[in-house]
Amino acid sequence: MTRIYDRVALIGLGLIASSMFWAMKRNDVAGHVTGFARSAETRDTARRIGLCDTVCDSLADAVNDADLIVLAVPVGVMGQVAAEIAPHLKPGATVTDVGSVKRQVITDVSPHIPDGVHFVPGHPLAGTEHSGPESGFASLFDNRWCLIVPTEDSTPDAVDRLMRYWQALGSNVDTMEPDHHDLVLSVTSHCPHLIAYTMVGVADDLRRVTDSEVIKYSAAGFRDFTRIAASDPTMWRDVFLTNKDATLEILGRFTEELFALQRAIRQGDGDFLHDYFTRTRAIRRGIIEAGQDTDAPNFGRTR
C-alpha cells in the first residue's frame, strides 16, 4: 500500500480515530501518527494499548509538522479546536474532520483555517454503539462509504489526496455537497438514532409499570433496533443541535407516515399495511445487496 501522508495527527481518540490508527498501520497509509485527547485518562489508556505512535499532552505538540490533521471530536466543539490548533499548522497541511454534520462544521471551522492550509471536510459512514479509545478496530471502514464534502476553498489536489487516504483505509469514497449531506444523513442516521432513543424511553416508562418485563423479555426486534441507543450521548446531542433543520424536516415526514400507519391499523386496512411493508422490505434488501449489511441475525453483536 502506498503511503499517503508522512505525519498524521488524530485529535480526539474515540472509536473513529482509534479505528483510523489501526487501519493506517494495517495498510502502511501513514508514517508517524500522533494523538491527543482532552482527558488525561483517555491519553493514558491510549498509551497503554499502543494507540498512536506518540500520544501528546497538548494540541500544539500533536499537530506540529502534521501533513493531515483529523478532527475527531464532537461537532459542537470543532470550531473551538480549530481555533486552538490554527497557529501551529504548517503550510500545505490538510485539516479534515469525521463529523456527522457538515454545514455547521464548515461554518465553525473554516474561519480558523490559515492561508496555505487546506480544509477538506469528511464523514466516514461507519461506526458501532461503542465509544472510547479501546473500541476501535482496523476493519471498521472496510467496504463502508466515506463522504468527502469539499468547501469552496478546497483544492482539487487536497481533495484527491484525502480520497486516496480513505480508500487506503478500506472505504468506498464519494463526494457530496454539504446541505445535501446533512439531509441524507438525517434520513439514514440521525432520525433513526432519535427514534431508537425514543423507543428506549417508551420502554423505560412501561418498565416502571410492568416491573421490568419490557426489558427482561425484550424480543429480538427491540434488542436490535435499540442497539444504537447505546451510542455516545454527547456526540448525538451535538448532532441534533447542529443539524436542526434537516432533522426536523425528516421527523415531520416520519410523523406523517406514522399517522398513515395508525389510520390503517385503526381501520383494519390490511392491503395498505401489506403494500407498505412490501415496499419497505425491498429497501432493506437493497441495503444488503449493496454490501452494507448482511441478512444474518446479529442480535447482541459487539461490533
Helix (H) or strand (E) holding 222: helix 220-225
pLDDT of residue 69: 98
The alpha carbon torsion through 198, 202, 204, 205 (nearest 10 deg) reads 140
pLDDT of residue 117: 98
Spell out the residues 6+ positions from residue 292 whose beta carbon is closer than 8 angstroms to its own: 143, 144, 145
pLDDT of residue 157: 97
5-176, CATH topology level = Rossmann fold (3.40.50)
The candidate with the shortest Cα–Cα distance to 163, out of 193, 122, 197, 118, is 122
The candidate with the shortest Cα–Cα distance to 152, out of 182, 212, 196, 107, is 107
180-289, CATH topology level = 6-phosphogluconate dehydrogenase C-terminal fold (1.10.3660)
The DSSP bridge pattern shows strands 122-124 and 68-71 to be unpaired
Instruction: Indicate the SS3 state at residue 9.
Output: strand
The alpha carbon torsion through 161, 167, 171, 173 (nearest 10 deg) reads 50
Where do the structural domains in the chain lie, given as residue ranges?
A: 5-176, 180-289
Cβ(7)–Cβ(66) below 8 Å: yes
pLDDT of residue 289: 66
pLDDT of residue 301: 46
How far is 166 from 132, CA to CA, in rounded Å? 21
Cβ(18)–Cβ(135) below 8 Å: yes
- Stretches in the chain below the pLDDT threshold 50: 299-303
Cβ(162)–Cβ(96) below 8 Å: yes
pLDDT of residue 219: 60
Q: What are the start-end ranges of the E strands in the chain?
A: 5-11, 30-36, 54-55, 68-71, 94-97, 118-119, 122-124, 145-148, 172-175
pLDDT of residue 299: 44
How far is 92 from 111, CA to CA, in rounded Å? 17
